[in-house]
Amino acid sequence: MSILSRYAIRLILSYLAGVIVIVVAIFMVLHVTGILGDAAEGDFPAGMLLHLLALRTVMALPSLLPVGLYVAVLLAMGRLYDDNEMTALATCGVPPRRIHAAVIAFSVLAAGAAAYLSFWARPWAAVAFHALRDQAVREAGIGQIRPGRFYELSGGAEQAVFSEARSADDPRFVENVFVQQRDADGLSILYAARATEVVDLQLGYRFIRLFDGYRYDLGTNAKHCDITRYEELVIRTPLADAPEKSQDHGLSALALARSSDPEDAAELQWRIASPVSAFLLVLLAIPISQISPRRGQYARLFVAIVLYVAYSQLLGTVKKWVANGVWPTLPGTWAVHALCLAIALALLAAHRLADLHQPRWSAVRRVLGAKTGPEFNG
């Protein structure tokens, strides 16, 4: 690899590192709100927040890497053109295609990294994320209750718990606890001075132990109330069901390829789209970065944003069409990739033709500031 190729790749890597940090930070800020909401509602311990957020970020990396690479190449190549480095290299007999070839070769390596993240890292993170979340949801109970708030112990508001404070001498207990139970026999309200719980994952039940309290049975018509005094009462409730999730994120590529389900085909094409888009977006960024500085950097940025948004939105839409059976599996999302490739090649060809029709001495004149004279004609 030549010195110029290494220089261009180092420049891209420097921009790529900064872009990835910014993109990942934005992604984490956008998704931390939902996870914090679940933690606040008691769906899982707050201590699992960072672990879940890290796994969620790994799941998103296959989609974040191509856009990060796209922006990095756009900024790096744009800098070479804006600073007239590409013009200076041309005056020394180094054509732009040599730098472009190095960038494209680097994009192949980046596509390989995107393939690893898409086919291996993302499924592993998806399985770990859902397993950890399911376990946290199943185990959440009195141990995660925040005093002063209402919590549902089972679906449909059949059982709700409220506690006034957590015990100062033993954090496993909560004090001044109220439990509402609603079933076919009517409504029951239980009060306990103290309460704790035992979770049995094998049996799939939560056992809530209430101490020193009263039970108020209102019945179905609430015309009479039976009051029972107790020293200890145990309530058995089933553990919360795991939240519904898409299982295809954790399936292997071979399992997805063997499946006849359109959703599995869409998931497989979505995984393939990550390395393919990493390569295609680099091809697209190269001609966009060659927009004349006289037109301003905003013109380049506008074109880049429009093309990327159109590509990503169309790719996501076709993926949904394939999953719903509206669009055939073949060509599937490959039609979007083919369209992006055609646009990139057309832009590259247009810039190539412009370079061929440009006089050789014009680049030298722009760099040296030479005046037009008879010696330059011909």
Residue 354: predicted pLDDT: 61
Distance in Å from the first CA to the final CA of the chain: 37
CA 288 to chain centroid, in Å, comes to 27
Residue 310: predicted pLDDT: 93
What is the DSSP code string of 297-332? Answer: HHHHHHHHHHHHHHHHHHHHHHHHHHHHTSS-TTTT
Token digits of residue 36: 């914090």
Report the pLDDT averaged over residues 61-90: 84
In which band, very low, low, confident or very high, does the pLDDT at 341 lie, cut at 50, 70 and 90?
very high
Residue 323: predicted pLDDT: 87
User: What's the pTM value of the predicted model, to 2 decimals?
Assistant: 0.66
37-70 pLDDT per residue, tens = 555 544 455 567 778 788 888 888 998 999 999 9
287-318 pLDDT per residue, tens = 888 765 555 555 677 888 899 999 999 999 99
Residue 303: predicted pLDDT: 83
Closest listed residue to residue 196, CA positions, set 159, 240, 141: 141
Token digits of residue 263: 């959703």
Residue 358: predicted pLDDT: 53
Report the pLDDT averaged over residues 26-31: 80
342-377 pLDDT per residue, tens = 998 988 888 777 655 554 434 444 444 444 444 434
